[in-house]
Structure 1
């Protein structure tokens, strides 16, 4: 058979029709195809020809291309080399074995992600060591800009959410404690709960959803536009240029936001206690001073940098995992937020057990 004309995307219907006739003629037979008459061949035409060849060979026939121009032969070779391999067939599993298979695959995937996170953490620490050895190479402007993005721009939403949550906790606590005539103990409740646990946890979750997702989206977009590869070509370390300022900004900004959020939550709880519990401002402050100490404030502030580091590492891992599609970017941004929130809660629980064990 002889092929001619333009095998290009704008001729797709004619190309598909010719390929169908070619596949029908070559089924179960040896077929030689003369490509000397093809005027132009693009990726679509080469892919259709390669698909047709695979169909003929699957049906027991053979197909050979003759007289192809060098550029056409090169394109056909590239398409054949990059052809998608079929997924390996999975054996039929029952419902129980299927569930166990899913759990096993998820466990292996989680283990790989944990290893990747540890590797990125090691690279960040190594980059910080290089920055300490050569302070002149550090871009302080980038750090200040990231602190502005994380802390300054994020402060209003943190204050609002913390204020509302503090008021809600105080209101529910008063309603329950009024049954026992102990509504004044709501000050102890909101003071300890907010300073030790709720303040830093709410702030970390908000930062994970706001700044962590932004870091993943930024790094992922750079990956899609090959800007990360461009940095490597120029001899620059992407970890030192892109990641270190962002991680340091998170570790500096999250404790600041935690302290601001604690103050906002205590303010909301205090106003609610005065409105619903009948407490005066002097009574609230006196009770708060008697209920909490400096070590309660330190408990929340000590957790903050570690939670910031976890958020930064997860955001970085997911950002570098983005591939060349918008779907991949959205999937990894979502994964970054979900994993960060999960790990923040896990880390908070570990810290709670640790501080309870040392009676701090």
Structure 2
């Protein structure tokens, strides 16, 4: 994308090439157009007219590069044949019909080459003058920018139309507005409607803000109350946890004390058991010794008894 100086107004006119993006080119053209309008002291009404005209020329440009294009019937908008071969009913002379005329006239004025079908359509004797065409187009409420999509297939090379258009934009001004009947009243009414609508939106925004503030305050209070309850509950739970931890610590200490006592008792029981075993062994030894003594004493008593029996018998024999 290159630039060429526009000396008399101090602006730089953009020049586009086929490789450039269409949307980007259109956005730059709109920005340039608005800058030119403001530099001339034009108001919003002029900018609106210029925007409409730039869209008509940029998107309605025809092929000027000599490449192959699709022929379009200007009677039924069909493709591949001309209007004289169309079998559909004749197209009504409405705002769309005049809009097509205006677009072709603008393209021809910009130096673009029109094909046979376009020239025949433009040469129709029922075409009104340029002022009437512009009046019908710009005052027709049915005019929508989406209708321009119908002509997009013919825009094989729009760089020439855009370059010529950007050079001619600076010649547009308040003279365009003068072509529109009752334009001042129309735009004043539109401005009043927009102002009233803006005031209504401001009131709605103010009401929404008040509702939002009230709702926000209520939610803050509710959240604050919930936070207080949660803090109290947290403190109560903390006290319970501290109490449980203290009880657990006491139980652990008591368990350790019981384990120490059990260990002492177990050690003492072991010592007593060992001592009892030793005493039992000593008693068994003493019992065996007593048994031996008793056995010996019994033998001695038996011997004495035998001796006494023998002495008794002996005495009996002596006395007898």
Scaled by the length of structure 2, the TM-score of the pair is: 0.20
Scaled by the length of structure 1, the TM-score of the pair is: 0.18
From the CA coordinates, give the structure whose radius of gyration is larger.
Answer: 2
- Name the structure with the higher helix share: 1
